[in-house]
Structure 1
Amino acid sequence: MASTSPGPTGPPRTQRPAWTDRLGIPRGLAWGFLGVLVFMIGDGVESGYLSPYLVQEGLSAQRVAMLFTVYGVTASVAAWLSGALSDLWGPRRVMMAGFGAWVGFQVLMLAIAVPSMNYPLLLLSYGLRGIGYPLFAFGFLVWIAATAPEKRLGTAVGWFWFAFTGGLPTLGSLVASFLIPQIGAYRTLWFSLGLVVLGGLIALLLVRERTGFRRLAPAGERPLATLFGSLALLGRNPRIGMGAVVRMINTVPEFGFLVCLPAFFTQTVGLSLSQWLRLLSVMFAVNIVFNLVFGVLGDRIGWRRTVAWCGGAGCTVTSLLLYYVPTLLGGQYALCLLVAGLFGATLAGYVPLSALMPSLAPAHKGQAMAALNLGAGASTFVGPALVALFLGPLGVQGVIWIFAGLYALSGVLALFLRTPAEDRARRADGEPAPGPVPATTTAAPAASEGL
């Protein structure tokens, strides 16, 4: 009787990692990064021209300001909800909700509100569209935090912020600059809708990693407890609260600078408007590259260390340089571009915070990310508010020092963001671990080592 020949008896061949894995992009989520990039390009198309376009169409500057304020409020709430709802529904359903909201309210705005310049309908459609991009993009960020290998999580979130800021405002504004002269401002808004639809479909149809298809909260946890757990987590785990404050400080000066620096550079320093806009483009272009650099660096030297020194200490120095270099050296444009690039680079030093925060509460990663996003949303109001309060009495110089002080504070706070695994290691070495630690058996990454 013939016998079948046995297969090879040697050791199994090790499968080579995919090129995405070698770059630090989780293989199962790779299409999602592309989807977020295309989605945020579509979302960012309007960022540089929607305000003057609406004024040109007949709205007063005050009404446009109110429109953007409502948008900011809804976006801030949605940023918080993205993490909480991911715990409750699963990240993919949250992304679907954001995608549907963006597309639906954009169609309402472009088909009816903008042609008629119906202000209440503009407030409704554009204001509520603000829930779209945070649910979509930050829902995917929670998905990354829940599934990426912890030793490469910093790199993975670096790629997320590369896609996010690459679209909004960088490539989105670039697309608008080419399209508006060709097809006009109104049709460009319709084109942005097409990009958002394309990006949403790429992410929602091609990402099949199963963790994001189900809720992240423990089985049996009540919906309201899940939804508001991020707020309760701030009290139960003070380090989550500190992390939210650090995240808020990260972009408080960024939003404040957009209020006070345009006049400073054009009126005091003497740059033209086009020079200022190019300087801003350089700042964010450098930021995009360093989102990746500091994501990788955080995995190598520790997330907490990177946030404290590259983000907090780095931004303390570069924010002061952003004011004093053009003031003391006469506004030499090359030097202005250099310090703008340095500030954009150090601003990316906070990227590993998106990896560190869920590791502070491994059993409630969605709630921890919700707290992180709550800090991000708060910065959209706190930055301009600080400028409004202090620009008059203290001038630009005083405001810059306030922002530099906040950055220094964030660096100090970041040093206290030790994970439960670090605390267990300290106790094993006989050192006391200050502060309450959430009960969990989930190991935190070794990459977030202490100083």
Structure 2
Amino acid sequence: MSITNKQWFGLPLHLLWGYIAIAVFMTGDGFELAFLSHYIKELGFSPAQASFAFTLYGLAAALSAWVSGVVAEIITPQKTMFIGFVLWCVFHVLFLVFGLGHANYPLILLFYGIRGFAYPLFLYSFIVVIIHNVKSENASSALGWYWAVYSIGIGVAGSYIPSFTIPLVGELGTLWMALFFCLAGGLIAMISLRKVQTPTHMHNLTTKEKFNELGRAITLLYTNRSIMYSSMVRIINTLSLFGFAVIMPLMFVDELGFTTSEWLQIWAAFFFTTIFSNIFWGIVAEKLGWMRVVRWFGCLGMAASSLAFYYVPQYFGHNFGMALIPAIALGIFVAAFVPMAAVFPALEPRHKGAAISVYNLSAGLSNFLAPAIAVVLLPYFSTIGVVIAYTTLYIIAFFLCHFIRVEQPGFESAVRVADDVTVRAS
């Protein structure tokens, strides 16, 4: 498979429309992120019930994320993205009509949970496309752009647009608008990626061999210790992102007096920051080292900014400007985990699909565990208990990074060359 070097600040130009498709699709998927928990509560359900809906959604997403990498290599990423695209659209309609439309909690859980299974098939299969079409030494910056367009979609457009549409058409009307974006993103991906080269080495495997490769996405967790530690770090990575989307609307709107639109704009500022920080850290990690950036800027930065996201608004009250400061800090440091997407396939170069599946599983588990932690702790320790739990886990991730041993393509060789020059000079 030929790999092109045509890039613009690390962005693979031959995959440009694929990146655009991710941004558009995730805009629709992100409409609900920062207000759905509050809307479910307004329908008459408790905060714990709203959090549980997100927990179930996250569990389905974790299962889907687990299989997406290997399935994408077995049947091609394009087919996997198509399956995810269709499932999302169908079950989003069912979720709106029979779940939210009738305030039917069991159907909310059923259809929202199944829809949670859909988006990782679309989203994470594109990582397989990137890994197989970009040189390993450029993977960090290419993946930085991937997470940047993800942020543009799910966070910036996905938060700012609802902040203006909710006052006009309401929450349910805004969720219907999401369908348009996901339809557009799916169609762009299907058209633009149809001729992109993707892995074919698994197409001729027997059914048993395909299931063995799928199982490898689990066995790698105990056969490769660095994969196991990397998985833990990746799970911790986005706890605040997914957790704060559930618990902070309740604090900002119900407790501190912010309007839903103000909260959505604060949340959008967080994601707007990640557009630039994802690209920045992706490039910087190729110079400083993947794990150095993750450990010192990702783990410690997220621990500090997670605490600030709670305490700054509590101290200053209904102050929009001050609330933006920790949101921006959170956006800067959450992106320092971007190199983790390159770490996993580098740890298992002969089984990249399985390694990416472990990465995706970890990302999905983060989506699941973040609200799950909230469900368990909120009734007993309120919002601050959840925030402290997230902060503690970021500190634990800092120590886990010490045990991850990965050879970074280009970076390691550059270090050895520099050492050789030094030795010869002496």
Q: Same fold (TM over 0.5)?
A: yes
Is this contact kept in 1: 2:156–2:269, CA < 8 A?
A: no
Structure 2: gaps (5+ residues): 417-426
The root-mean-square deviation of aligned C-alpha atoms, in Å, is 3.4
Cα separation, 1, equivalents of 2:271 and 2:363: 17
Q: Does 1:127 align with 2:113?
A: yes
CA offsets 1:200-255 (integer angstroms, 9 cap, x no match): 11111112454326365895670211112110111111111111100011122333
Match of 2:219 among 229, 232, 235: 232
Percent identity (aligned)? 34
Q: Does 1:415 align with 2:413?
A: no
Equivalent residue number for residue 178 of structure 2: 192
- 1:195-214 counterparts in 2 under 5 A? 195-208=181-194, 210-212=196-198, 214=200
Cα separation, 2, equivalents of 1:318 and 1:305: 19
Is this contact kept in 2: 1:103–1:193, CA < 8 A?
A: yes
Equivalent residue number for residue 447 of structure 1: 411
Equivalent residue number for residue 82 of structure 1: 68
Change (3 A) 1:333 1:186: closer
Change (3 A) 1:315 1:85: same
Cα separation, 1, equivalents of 2:5 and 2:51: 50
Structure 1: gaps (5+ residues): 1-15, 423-443
Structure ranking higher on relative contact order (CA contacts 8 Å, 6+ apart): 2
What is the number of equivalent residue pairs in this alignment? 409
- 1:339-418 counterparts in 2 under 5 A? 339-390=326-377, 399-418=386-405
Deviation at 1:350, TM superposition (A): 0.4
Is this contact kept in 2: 1:266–1:273, CA < 8 A?
A: yes
Cα separation, 1, equivalents of 2:311 and 2:113: 38
Match of 1:319 among 298, 301, 306: 306
Change (3 A) 1:71 1:317: closer
Equivalent residue number for residue 248 of structure 1: 235
Cα separation, 2, equivalents of 1:323 and 1:135: 33
Match of 1:91 among 72, 77, 94: 77
Change (3 A) 1:101 1:318: same
CA offsets 1:284-331 (integer angstroms, 9 cap, x no match): 221232111111111222211111111012223333444555567788
- 1:133-212 counterparts in 2 under 5 A? 133-183=119-169, 185-208=171-194, 210-212=196-198
Cα separation, 1, equivalents of 2:122 and 2:356: 14
TM-score by length of 1: 0.79
Cα separation, 1, equivalents of 2:365 and 2:243: 12
Is this contact kept in 2: 1:301–1:448, CA < 8 A?
A: no
Greater Cα shift, 330-339 or 363-372:
330-339
Cα separation, 2, equivalents of 1:32 and 1:266: 36
Higher helix share: 2
TM-score by length of 2: 0.83
Cα separation, 1, equivalents of 2:384 and 2:50: 29
Greater Cα shift, 287-296 or 373-382:
373-382
Change (3 A) 1:321 1:67: closer
